[in-house]
Chain A
Amino acid sequence: MMAEGGMKMGAKQARRGAAQQKLLAFASLIVLVVGFSLASPRFFQIDNIMSILQATSVNGVLAVGVTMIIITGGIDLSIGTLMTFCAVMTGVVLTWMGAPLFLGVVTGLGTGALCGLISGTLVAKAKIPPFIATLGMMLVLKGMSLIVTGTKPIYFNDTEGYTEISQGSLVGLIIPQFPLPNGVLILFVVAGVIAWVLSRTVLGRYTFALGSNEEAVRLSGVNTDRWKMAIYALAGAICGIAGILMSSRLNSAQPSLGLGYELEAIAAVVIGGTSLSGGRGTITGTLIGALIMSVLTNGLRVLSVAPEWQTVVTGIIIIVAVYADQLRRRSAN
């Protein structure tokens, strides 16, 4: 069939494959939502939906950032503790030094970009495998957060409007019936911008190209090291955004939080169909993946399933999602 159909058919199949994969994840999300709605009348309430979205915001932002790195064929295990470290540095600037809000935000983003740049340098220049380099960074940053704060949380009580960053609702001011929390708005904006960067800019094109065939890109005369560092730095800055969202929700920077968030984010990316071997992936997929995870957590809680079981189900979902993707790809070949 393939042979006589020729090349044209192959291209169509490939495109259909990518669409199918996203569709599959989206369909699972719908099935989950419908299922929980039928199981419990409390699930499909505007308040509950808003709280699901709010719960997705931090993990979603982290997942969007790490999606880029995973598309290059890399991985970043430090995003969880980096998020915390960014929150801590924001707290230092705002609470301890009493700087104005925007300086705190800049500090958070800057800390993230700088630490991302360090990871990127370790990976690109020192040629340390990304898993190891960012595993090291993960531990370094966890320790740094505890050291800087003396293991105590920093509260943002003196910074007016800090909690509004995530919990206020700009949308609600305009459309009172739809109080979309700012945290969710920020997630959608970040996702939109990164999706645009990936599909429309040079940085995005090289992100996919690095994951597809790094050596061919280098031999095209592209300074692959520099682009890779830029991608890690950008992902780091996005961790800074996640850190600010997180600390805004808690009204504090909790130095002992963070570990484990990287795995949740990577899980969302994987459920969304981004290939861990690089070269393929979408931001919509990642968003759907992150939503599936928080719908699941929320839904099971609404059904009063013990939290221990929620973790088990999440794990199974990851395995099923990747296995379904494997099956699809095998049948495509």
Chain B
Amino acid sequence: MAELVQMEGIDKRFPGVHALKSVSFDLRAGEVHALMGENGAGKSTLMKILSGVYHPDDGRILIDGAEVALPTPRAAQELGIGIIHQELALMRDLTVAQNIFIGREPRLSFGRLDEDRLNADAAAIFTAMHIPMDPRTPVEGLTIARQQMVEIAKALSHRSRVLIMDEPTAALNDAEIAELFTIIRKLKAEGVGIIYISHKMDEIKRISDRVTVMRDGAYVGTVEAADTPISKIISMMVGRELTDEVAAIPDLSGAEIALEVSHLSRGHELKDISFSLKKGEILGFAGLMGAGRTELARAIFGAEPADHCEIRIHGKPVQIRTPADAVREGIGYLSEDRKHFGLALGMDVRANIAMASLPRYADRLGRINEAELGRVAQDYIQTLSIRTPGDAQEVRLLSGGNQQKVVVAKWLLRDCDILIFDEPTRGIDVGAKAEIYRLLNELAASGKAIIVISSELPEVLRLSQRIAVMCEGRLTGILPGGASQEDIMALATKREGMAAE
């Protein structure tokens, strides 16, 4: 079969990261080619290069055997490469047809829009897709699945021969997934090549012809989907390295339980989750993107309260409806998105460290004892070795690792003894990571109870004394520290109702 797309020796570096290491990938007309790998393996970067968003530092791209340049997303579109992002990018207030032809509206004289032709053209695409859809419907009223159909129609309207789908089923239910797969099969039959990015093993087996696995920015291998067992694909994704760094597991049998969560549920996102956390323990939460780990953390912290949940802290039942409740009970949450949820970037280090504890440093008039606060801030700058010229430095000028330490200092000052770290090393360079790990270990050793949510398995393994694994809003299991990556991945992909392998 002819190679529709060939990517050869693609290399890409970002400051501090070698994102793609001479990666090769090919796509045939009329096939579904799954692209797999852990978060951060380089799938998205590779696809952004194919869709003209990023430019490779090295390597070449061939379409129909001819080398092409993809300087802009527009150029990729014109060559027939369409991408459907995980986050749908539709304008909610416009109609289906208006969305499909945005920027390319058919016109009459004097710049008037030809709405009739717009709607007719859109209708023609849906007819070809065999989907009943009224092009005049506002997108706002459509389900996520229907919106995805609109995205696909939009891509097809560019006469796409290559369709990249990034986690297309993340927000779909089973019936909707079946409908999507019907469309994918039709597109296949018409000779469209589809690159399918997903973490869900059962889907990969159902829909794809070949599977390519990437790891740490490198190409691992390509296998036929039909005759490769899931366990083989998982071991390709995980690799074997990095098993040397495993958490030391102290004896915590005598330690008291700091946090106990029972039957926590919220909507469709979190389903009946129960676990407990001891003083001095680091409990890792592993899982794939969208497994509900951040949602769980935010529910425990009261940022988006759970519908139902029993929480005990140091054995005492508590009600947590707001972050203020959680903080009063000694829970601190360190968001993966420090810039939006953790720091007031335009304010200085001292104000950020004091953010959760201000009233304690104020007199009856509300006057802040700046001298005392300055001293305390200096203390934390020293003990956590925050690299800053001083406590009057605006935090936006600090590096990621030092910003993270400022947030840690904020919670330590507030006397929080249960700390939830959500992706503690995201956006932090390699050198600073080790320092954050050491800090976490020291905090645990000093009796803090710590939850670490991380999408990087080596990180979870390196830190956690126990590993909780989530999939699609459920806690699928808790493994002892040092569990194998294969076991974790098996639990992380264990979908509800999926037949046991």
Contacts and interface: CB of A to CB of B under 8 A. Distances in A.
B439 interface: no
Nearest to A209: B344
A97 interface: no
A285 interface: no
A212 B323 contact: no
Contacts of A155: none
Contacts of B122: none
Interface stretch (B142-150, B356-364, B462-470): B356-364
B347 A209 contact: yes
Interface stretch (B130-138, B391-399, B471-479): B391-399
A221 B367 contact: no
B394 A219 contact: no
Given A201-B366, A218-B323, A219-B303, A7 B398 contact: yes
A205 B335 contact: no
B342 interface: yes
Contact of B359 (A8, A197, A202): A202
B350 to A, nearest CB: 10
Interface in B293-343: 301, 303, 322-324, 326-328, 333, 335, 340-343
A219 B367 contact: no
A223 interface: yes
Contact of A212 (B342, B347, B358, B365): B347
> Which of under 10, 10 to 19, 20 to 34, or 35 or more describes the interface residues of B?
35 or more
B355 interface: yes
Nearest to A278: B346
A216 to B, nearest CB: 6
B351 A280 contact: no
Interface in B371-427: 388-390, 392-394, 397-398, 410, 414
Interface in A219-262: 219-223
B368 A200 contact: yes
A8 B365 CA distance: 34
Contacts of A192: none
A7 B370 CA distance: 23
A248 B344 CA distance: 42
A26 interface: no
A280 B347 CA distance: 10
A221 B329 CA distance: 10
Contacts of B358: 202, 205-206, 222
B356 A220 contact: yes
A212 B368 contact: no
Interface string B253-284: 00000000000000000000000000000000
Contacts of B322: 223
B340 A213 contact: yes
A208 B346 CA distance: 9
A309 to B, nearest CB: 39
A197 B368 CA distance: 10
A146 interface: no
Contact of B367 (A201, A212, A213): A201
Contacts of A14: 394, 397
B328 A221 contact: yes
Contact of B389 (A11, A197, A200, A206): A11
B342 A216 contact: yes
Given A11-B393, A202-B358, A221-B414, A216 B366 contact: no
Nearest to B393: A11
A326 B354 CA distance: 31
A221 B344 contact: no
A251 to B, nearest CB: 36
A330 B112 CA distance: 38
B220 interface: no
B90 interface: no
A14 B342 CA distance: 21
A10 interface: yes
Nearest to A280: B346
B351 A221 contact: no
B345 interface: yes
Given A201-B365, A208-B347, A215-B340, A221 B323 contact: yes
A130 to B, nearest CB: 19
Contacts of B366: 197, 201-203
A289 interface: no
A112 interface: no
A217 interface: yes
B343 A213 contact: yes
Given A14-B394, A219-B323, A205 B346 contact: no
Contacts of B324: 221-223
B369 to A, nearest CB: 10
A279 interface: yes
A10 B327 CA distance: 33
A223 B347 CA distance: 19
B274 to A, nearest CB: 24
Question: Which of A8, A216, A219, A280 neighbours the largest number of chain B CB atoms within 10 Å of its CB?
Answer: A219
B397 A200 contact: no
B343 A205 contact: no
Interface in B31-75: none
Contacts of B333: 219
Interface in A178-212: 197, 200-203, 205-206, 208-209, 212
A219 B301 contact: yes
B363 to A, nearest CB: 9
A139 to B, nearest CB: 28
Contact of B342 (A205, A206, A219, A279): A219
A201 B362 CA distance: 7
Contacts of A213: 340, 343-345
Contacts of A215: 340-341
A216 B323 CA distance: 11
A104 to B, nearest CB: 27
A279 B388 CA distance: 22
A296 to B, nearest CB: 31
Given A209-B351, A223-B324, A10 B346 contact: no
B323 A10 contact: no
Contacts of B323: 218-221
Contacts of B343: 213, 216
Contacts of B335: 219
B355 A220 contact: yes
Given A202-B359, A219-B335, A212 B397 contact: no
Given A216-B355, A218-B323, A219-B323, 4 more contacts: A220-B355, A221-B328, A221-B356, A279-B344
28 contacts: A7-B388, A7-B389, A7-B393, A11-B390, A11-B393, A14-B394, A200-B368, A200-B370, A201-B362, A201-B366, A201-B367, A202-B359, A205-B351, A205-B354, A206-B358, A209-B355, A215-B340, A216-B340, A218-B303, A219-B303, A219-B323, A219-B333, A219-B341, A219-B342, A220-B355, A221-B356, A279-B346, A279-B347
The 7 lowest CB-CB distance pairs between A and B, nearest first, are A221-B327, A212-B344, A201-B366, A220-B356, A10-B397, A220-B355, A8-B389
